[in-house]
């Protein structure tokens, strides 16, 4: 599936949630979509768990 099609499907899901469920449902669908995106990237191997907890290098 191309990124354009995935984006279109995500936009349609957010539009339906916003129209039928209100702003709270819109935010819930957006948050769950972001969590799903991160989990998907993690499972594909594009992202490591250390990417979230890495504090960066300290400079002296």
CA dihedral 24, 47, 39, 28 (to 10 degrees): 0
- In the structure encoding, which two tokens stand for residue 8, read together? 């279109």
pLDDT, residue 59, reads 57
Instruction: Report residue 60's pLDDT band, with 50, 70 and 90 as the boundaries.
Output: low
pLDDT, residue 1, reads 66
Q: Which residue has the higher pLDDT, 47 or 27?
A: 27
**Res 57 pLDDT > 80:** no
**Res 20 pLDDT > 70:** yes
CA dihedral 11, 13, 17, 20 (to 10 degrees): 110
CA dihedral 29, 34, 36, 40 (to 10 degrees): 160
Residues 6+ apart with CB under 8 A from 21: 28
C-alpha count within 13 angstroms, C-beta hemisphere, residue 2? 3
């Amino acid at each position: 599936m191309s990124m354009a099609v995935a984006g279109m499907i995500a936009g349609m899901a957010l539009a339906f949630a916003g129209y039928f469920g209100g702003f709270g449902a819109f935010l819930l669908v957006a948050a769950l979509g972001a969590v799903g995106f991160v989990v998907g990237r993690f499972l594909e191997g594009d992202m490591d768990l250390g990417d979230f907890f890495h504090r960066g290098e300290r400079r002296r």
